Amino acid sequence: MARDGALPAPARLSGALAIGLLLLNVGNPTLFSTITATSVVVVYLAYLLVAGPLLVNRLRGRFPAESGRFSLGRWGVPLNGAAVLYGIAMIVNIAWPRAEIHDLAGSGAPSMLLFPIEFVGGALVIGWLCRLRLRPAPALEPAT
């Protein structure tokens, strides 16, 4: 990004957003806990986006042990499976709408209780729409 001259703008934008979120959080424990919980859900989701496909590849036999490299051997699939289950359990646990986590001030705002789910769902929809928009057009078959 630096080579293309695109680095300063994203860095400034992310810095401005971080400062804006910090200013919103001052004196607002509900917003702070909700943003924190959402951040943790996103981190676990990123973890699952690596651990999940790895487990699928292990189950299909596409991840063989290589000589001279570290390998979990027969423990690879069970440990990888446990890691995926743990990641899913943590996402459900943290994103579950509970006032004890997402509404520390007791405001009763349903938008705060559902924010982690709404944020991840919105990000998935936006990503899917971007994928549809940016996907290359299929090659046309020559007419016979």
> Measured between alpha carbons, how far is 54 from 65 in angstroms, rounded to an integer?
13
Contacts 24+ apart (CB under 8 A), 119-126: 119/38, 119/41, 119/42, 120/38, 120/41, 120/42, 120/45, 120/95, 123/42
Token pair of 123 as six digits:
């990000």
- pLDDT string in tens for the chain (144-residue length): 667 766 777 788 888 988 888 887 777 777 888 888 899 999 999 999 999 999 999 999 888 777 788 888 889 999 999 999 999 999 999 999 888 777 777 776 777 788 889 999 999 999 999 989 888 777 666 666
Q: Spell 40-74 as b/e; 16+ CB within 10 A means b.
A: bbeebbebbeebbebbeebeeeebeeeeeeeeeee
Model pTM above 0.85? no
**In the chain, where are the structural domains located?**
29-134
Amino acid 1: pLDDT: 63
> Measured between alpha carbons, how far is 43 from 37 in angstroms, rounded to an integer?
10
